[in-house]
Amino acid sequence: MIELNQTHNPELSSWLESANRADSDFPIQNLPYASFRPVASDQPFRIGVAIGDQVLDLQQVAHGGLLTGLPAGVINACNCETLKPLMELGQTCWSALRARLSELLSSNADAVTVDKLKAALCPQDEVEYQLPCQIGDYTDFYTSIHHATRVGSLFRPDNPLLPNYQWIPIGYHGRASSVVISGQDFQRPQGTRAADAPTPTLGPCQRLDYELELGVLVGTGNALGSPVGIDQAESHIFGLCLLNDWSARDLQAWEYQPLGPFLSKSFLTSLSPWVVTMEALAPFRAPWTRSPDEPQPLDYLDSPQVRQHGAVDIRLAVELETARDREASRPGQQLSQSSFVDSYWTLSQMLTHHTVNGCNLQPGDLLGSGTQSGPQPEESGSLLELSQGGKQPLQLANGEQRTFLEDGDRVTLRGWCEAPGSRRIGFGSVTGCVLPARPHH
């Protein structure tokens, strides 16, 4: 468990005024990482840190001699195009860089330092992003019992949860090659579905959905055959981002038995550009509990550390902007809000279970949390739940209705953390728009 330190001090302020605004996602207490470059340029991508409404170019910071004294591996990693070299270094190096950046960006920095740093800033609305690192492998979990129960009730009203759900974190291996950065619009996927026809048909998905998830990026890996213990698991996690695992529900219903989702999930998964480190999340930890009348975790998934502060209170929200909204210059509307603190399984339990068979995780591997839904129906993280399987259309504020996504719909996921005595921090957003399906030949 990462202890609170000076970088979390809620009284700490920055010389960059936009970072001191109460509603900023990126105060000096956050300092998330991304891979960026000036928009529409042919410059190489480089590592940046979000501060207020700006991006700090770490390559320029390193070249300016402001990282002297840090391990050579850290300085070299700051000169790379993606986060992977930094992710490989481990918690000690990550903490050292965060501490230095906090000093440099604080209002206590000297004038010469501030001048050098100002030259390394770029407005966030003038940059573009790529994936923070090449995604090696992608595993999607199913950690919200509220989501699992509601979805299970649609298909198995008498037995919504399968027997294994409350004993182990359930997951499946997804498609890494179709993980994309936020802002990439996409054609409605084609696929085979059965519906009520005697013969399956190929055509555009009719029940397209989003999934409100967190993405977990692995930092240091583990050797093949060497499981990671529960109390060491979080030291292998570099940070978290937002994840939308778009889903073709009609294709999924036809194909998912007996081996699980395939074409219904592999067409696109969207990631937010900013990776919030585990250290930045330290003020928002919470106890993890399991009701006494439920199965308790097996020993390898349990420890006092997990019980005391294994949960993380990350607020999550979904917004929908329709094509009509854009035509009328109206903002979209929020469809739901939930919190990761209600997750049935923790980050450390997911990673530990993933490796208990000897599976080797590698820097840049991605774990999805699965759809994050809260205990109340209005806290559902998918349209499948909100519309009760398409039976109950949602009435939108603009007069439209939705059961599933229509062409022109833009979905935006947001995340943030708030706690008494701590500065609010945010994840930014992940967004994508549904385009009409390509003609099938």
- Asked about 147 being catalytic, the answer comes back as yes
Positive/negative CA dihedral, 268, 272, 273, 276: negative
* Burial class, 30, CB count within 10 angstroms (exposed 0-12 / middle 13-18 / buried 19+): buried
The token pair at 281 is 């999340």
Contact 385/377 with Cβ under 8 angstroms?
yes
Q: How far apart are CA 142 and CA 260, in angstroms?
A: 13
Between the CA of residue 204 and those of 131, 159, 199, 388, 441, what are the distances in Å?
Answer: 28, 31, 16, 22, 12
Q: How far apart are CA 75 and CA 65, in angstroms?
A: 10
Between the CA of residue 134 and those of 81, 82, 137, 269, 308, what are the distances in Å?
Answer: 11, 8, 9, 14, 34
The token pair at 235 is 């030291």
In the block, which residue shows the tokens 């994309």? 180
Q: How far apart are CA 209 and CA 381, in angstroms?
A: 10
The total number of residues shown for the chain amounts to 441
The residue annotated as part of the active site, out of 8, 146, 147, 236, is 147
Report the DSSP beta bridge partners of residue 51.
54
The DSSP string of 216-255 is EEE-S---TT-PPPTTTGGGGEEEEEEEE--EEHHHHHHH
Positive/negative CA dihedral, 419, 424, 430, 431: positive
**How many Cα neighbours within 13 Å face the side chain of 146?**
20
Omega within 30 of 0 (cis) for the link into 258: yes
CA-nearest of 300, 326, 333, 310 to 229 is 300
- Show which residues are catalytic: 147
